Amino acid sequence: MRLVRTLLIYLALCFPAFAQSDYLSLNGKFTLTGGPFTATGLVKNSDLANSATTVAGQTCTLGSTCGLSALTNSLVGAVTMTTSSTYYDGPSVAQGVTETWFASGNATIAAVLANDQVLCKLWDGTTLIDSGYAQPSNGLKLSVHLSGYLASPAGNLEISCTNATSSGGTIATTNGIDAKASTISAFRIQ
């Protein structure tokens, strides 16, 4: 009943002609009769009580296309991890150093030796956001998926990986069939 009452009040406020018709009575008791009911016009944003809202720190009017900033980047060339236990940069995005960002991505790792232990991290060059581990067999590829959020990043959000057990292996650009196998996306959330 509460929903019907709210709908009737909305119709009366947005469509004054409807409120003054034989279909609606607003004298303490809500009555709706007749039909079919049609709206002959649209309500303008300026006629609404709250014609704007805040999305990710931006004031947006209804019907506009403002909102979350989004960035995506994929590796263009494979990155060879030539030195054991040294982190190599994979995909990254340059989002700036203000606001809060949610990042999600993956690094596809190709190992050189059986049982290579590959570590990957999502970070801004200073603060660790997420980390993962893969142990692909010789010549096989595995993906390490990472995600998380960070306020006021110190630098670019990126995925970096290292082969902790031997020299070699790559952060790949393809999974063997499709491109964009090592990709990061970031969304401004505040």
SS (H, E, C) 93-150: ECCCCCCEEEEEEEEEEECCCCCCCEEEEEECCCCEEEEEEECCCCCCEEEEEEEEEE
The Cα–Cα gap between 90 and 117 comes to 17
Count of domains observed in the chain: 2
CATH number at residue 156: 2.60.120.40
On whether both 52 and 85 belong to a single domain, the answer is no
In this structure, the answer to whether residues 106 and 52 fall within a common structural domain is no
Note whether 77 and 144 are same-domain residues.
yes
pTM beyond 0.95: no
Are 142 and 162 in a shared domain? yes
- pLDDT tens for each residue of the chain, 190 residues long: 455 555 555 555 555 555 555 444 444 455 555 555 555 555 565 666 666 666 656 676 666 656 668 999 999 999 999 999 999 999 999 999 989 999 999 999 988 788 889 999 999 999 999 999 998 877 789 999 999 999 999 999 999 999 999 898 999 999 888 999 999 999 998 8
Q: Which domain holds residue 126?
A: 70-188
Last residue of a domain, one of 61, 93, 112: 61
Alpha carbons 47 and 63: distance in angstroms, whole number: 13
